[in-house]
Amino acid sequence: LYALRSKVLLEMGRGKASLEDWWSALNLQGEHTQGVCKQIAMVQIGLGRLETAEAYLDDRKEEYPQEGAFWALAGKIAYLRGDFEGALKQLDAAVERDGHVPSLLAARGTLLMNQGRYEEASESFQHALKGEEENAGFLYGRAYCRWRSGQFGA
């Protein structure tokens, strides 16, 4: 019940109340669960509490070292701070853990594309397409990177 209510509160723009509900959901379960922990971190990031979210994610990465979502969220924090190499490092760690997740591969491709690293980005989009063959965003990203790296004629 807390999880549903917190999602509604977040959509209503009531991030602090949403975060309180996620904490309540976590306390009811008596132990950390990955899904609730991920939601808590996402709400903290959304509220601009980057330092708090980063510390929280560092603890979760220790607790759940194979959960790629925590590494991906740490990458989002690095990206929001303008630390693109740090973001890439975190995304690479997430892909290493959850390489089958197309959205992670596409996020990596987008980050590389924005850095002008088109060949690497194209490869990431290609891997993302293995999971979602008709995703227009992934197809566009791959095509744009191939064009920018000279793989298509002018």
For the segment 102-109, the average pLDDT, to the nearest whole number, is 94
Kindly tell me if the per-residue pLDDT of 35 is higher than 70. Answer: yes
Pick the CATH number of 99-153 from 1.25.40.10, 3.90.420.10, 3.40.50.300, 1.25.40.80: 1.25.40.10
Q: Give the model's confidence band at 39: pLDDT under 50 very low, under 70 low, under 90 confident, else very high.
A: confident
More confident residue, 70 or 17: 70
Per-residue pLDDT, 81: 96
What CATH topology corresponds to 1-86?
1.25.40
For 78-103, how does the pLDDT look when each residue is reduced to its tens digit (9 = 90+)? 999 999 999 999 999 999 998 789 99
Residue ranges, CATH 1.25.40.10, the chain: 1-86, 99-153
The 3 state secondary structure assigned to the chain is CHHHHHHHHHHCCCHHHHHHHHHHHHHHHCCCCHHHHHHHHHHHHHCCCHHHHHHHHHHHHHHCCCCHHHHHHHHHHHHHCCCHHHHHHHHHHHHHHHCCCHHHHHHHHHHHHHCCCHHHHHHHHHHHHCCCCCCHHHHHHHHHHHHHCCCCCC
